[in-house]
Amino acid sequence: MVDFSSETQATRQLYGLDDKDLAPTASNYLLARRLVERGVRFVQVFNGGALGSPRINWDAHEDLVRNHGNQARHLDQPCAALLKDLKQRGLLDDTLVVWSSEFGRTPFTQGDKGKGRDHHPLVFTGWMAGAGLRPGFHHGVSDEVGYRPAENPVTVYDFHATLLHLLGIDHTRLTYYHNGLARGLTDVHGHVVHDVLA
């Protein structure tokens, strides 16, 4: 599964496998495509979790431009390659690709740390492509500084409800027991965002 020697040179170039800086991330995205091809129903590609100083992850408390610039460079080509490859192979119509994090970054610097940004749960970007979605569509707008939602806000509950809907699951019926109560992943607040659906 992880022997990529059978991949064409065009595929290797598409993902960036021969670029020593991109190769670790590129191989993860290519492996994701191979797993989807073989019928694996849920595949996660994790990006940006390495620790170190300076930080080599998305947690940009000290320097947003350096952190996010580096992460974006390692993500952009392999992730775009995955989407293109899935589409060329006829797999994107049946595959839901989701890119998100658990929060965004503040639109202003963090205290005395200069160029960094703190955690910001009110506004952040996520995107989805593939099965069941309108292509080339965006939903929601922040205010002029990116601090609060300004139009069509989507809560995490709404995001979960929409994902579950795309997976064929009625989010209102999906419950788990916690402290003797049936709880829902989307609580009572989640609604499917129908505007993004094909």
pLDDT number for residue 113: 62
- Full domain range(s) for residue 103: 4-153
User: How confident is the prediction for the chain on average, in pLDDT?
Assistant: 91
**What mean pLDDT comes out for the span 75-90?**
97
67 part of a folded domain: yes
Tokens of 22: 């991109």
CA-nearest of 148, 150, 127 to 138 is 127
Q: Is the pLDDT of residue 44 over 70?
A: yes
pLDDT number for residue 189: 87
Q: Is the pLDDT of residue 16 over 80?
A: yes
62 part of a folded domain: yes
Give me the percent of the chain exceeding a pLDDT of 90.
Answer: 68
**What mean pLDDT comes out for the span 89-107?**
93
Domain tally, the chain: 1
37 part of a folded domain: yes
Contact 132/96 with Cβ under 8 angstroms?
A: yes
**Going by C-beta distance under 8 Å and a sequence separation of 6 or more, which residues neighbour residue 17?**
4, 7, 11, 23, 26, 27, 30
Structure confidence at residue 50 as a pLDDT band (50, 70, 90): low
**What mean pLDDT comes out for the span 144-163?**
96
∠ Cα 79 82 86 (to 5°):
150
pLDDT in tens, 103-135: 889 998 887 767 888 999 999 999 999 999 999
Which helix H or strand E contains 49, and what residues bound it? Answer: strand 49-50
At residue 104, φ and ψ (nearest 5 deg) are: -100, -160
34 part of a folded domain: yes
8 part of a folded domain: yes
33 part of a folded domain: yes
pLDDT in tens, 163-193: 999 999 999 998 889 999 988 889 888 999 9
46 part of a folded domain: yes
pLDDT number for residue 34: 98
